[in-house]
Amino acid sequence: MPASFKVRTVPLEDNKFEEVLDPDFGESAIGRVAPVDSGCSVSVGTSSKSEFIEMALLIGLWWIILLTAYGKITGDYSLQERVDVQTGIRLILNLCLADGFDMFPSLLVTDGSCMIDRRMGIHGHPLEIQALFCSALRCSREILTANGSSKNLVSAINNRLSALSFHVREYYWVDMKKVNEIYRYKTEEYSMDATNKFNIYPEQIPSWLMDWIPEKGGYLLGNLQPAHMDFRFFTLGNLWSIVSSLGTPKQNEAILNLIEAKWDDIAGHMPFKICYPALENEEWRIITGSDPKNTQTSVLNELCRPWSYHNGGSWPTLLWQMGRLELAQKAVSLAEKRLSIDRWPEYYDTRRGKFIGKQSRLYQTWTIAGFLTSKMMVENPQMASLIYWEEDYELLDICVCALNKSGRKNCSRGAAKSQILV
């Protein structure tokens, strides 16, 4: 899947010519990274064969979600039932459910394959990709044609969904109670009964988090790996976790409570900030490679400031994923006052999203589409329910874990919580 094509004229015999397509797989791109937008504010890039496979996989996950939404909204299921479409779904699932070296049920994301062109420190197991993965698995289970060949695949989907949701709900969740628990973590713990399973040092808790997180709210971490917790709030990952019911109903409610309590930080003058807080100073230089698109230059002192582009910029396209009607109405009303006047920019800069991004493209398709979709959903809330998933209680009893030396067996999540890392 090339990023672009160039039409080249090739001479033939007898003074004849033929036009051929010359594909660009990234060898001519800036930084030799061929960016491909995957349908929302997640973008993927590729500079190697493994990253190219991952790029195709992430786009394929969005394709499955859109295919399901199309069927639900239009009532036309003939496209889903086509043999070639069913084959495509199976190929994508076989790729992302294949056994590998990674021990976690979350989907591994290589460096540069999530945020476009430049990494933002979310390679590994970023939340937004896990939420996307969860949605695609639930959609696949709905639209796969029931036959002998799909039975094993559906079983594998159920097992992965159970393990993935338990993993994210248990280890990615952060509220005041969890922060206090992390604050008192002991490190270098062995055995299956270890509390600090990822060997996180309490010193990783950032100072801003102590006063920022509300008493009655919480959110899912931006990323989690051994010895590393990314405590930033990523709006896309948390909103899509609500949409896909990756979090528990109580967690989903707490995320919306946090957004409401921290409205000025997350929404500001233009909903919604892609992440909070922004990387600053040396941390920004190291992680982004001093990427100028992820800064805002001050006119007064010419110092590089954060709160721009993927580094805390505000992206109107995130509007359509809001899960609480009154908050969605507030966000849409806020955006409606500015977007058409500002000529539908791609993103906004500054801490509160006051200014159009310095390199923001105008009349951006996903800005317009995100606003129109959110506007229609606010006016017709029952339509929004067609792309939202409720809690799947059947999965709560499926958790497949290695609980003892004799091999795998079914267990409840209550047992799994204290005994295994899934």
Q: What is the pTM of this model?
A: 0.82
* Helix (H/G/I), strand (E/B), else coil: 265: helix
Give CA–CA dist 142/297, Å, rounded: 48
Cis bond upstream, residue 104 (ω within 30):
no
Residue-wise pLDDT for 224-272, tens only, equals 988 889 999 999 999 999 999 999 999 999 999 999 999 999 999 999 9
- Output the pLDDT for position 413: 47
Residues in the chain with pLDDT values less than 70: 1-3, 26, 29-58, 110-119, 293, 295-305, 397-422
Closest CA to 392 of 128, 154, 151, 95: 154
- Output the pLDDT for position 300: 40
Residue-wise pLDDT for 106-159, tens only, equals 988 766 556 655 667 777 899 999 999 999 999 999 999 988 778 889 999 999
Longest dimension (CA), the chain: 81
- Output the pLDDT for position 34: 55
- Output the pLDDT for position 111: 60
- Output the pLDDT for position 51: 47
Q: Do 200 and 227 form a contact (C-beta atoms < 8 A)?
A: yes
Give CA–CA dist 58/131, Å, rounded: 12
Phi, then psi, of 400 in degrees rounded to 5: -100, 115
- Output the pLDDT for position 225: 87
Judged by phi (left if over 0) then psi (alpha if -120 to 50, else beta), residue 411 lies in: beta
Break the chain into its structural domains and give their ranges: 1-32, 247-397
- Output the pLDDT for position 234: 94
Phi, then psi, of 25 in degrees rounded to 5: -95, 15
Give the alpha-carbon dihedral of 143, 145, 151, 155, to 10 degrees: 0
> Both tokens of residue 301?
């002192």
Q: Please provide the distance, in angstroms rounded to a whole number, between the alpha carbons at the two ends of the chain.
A: 34
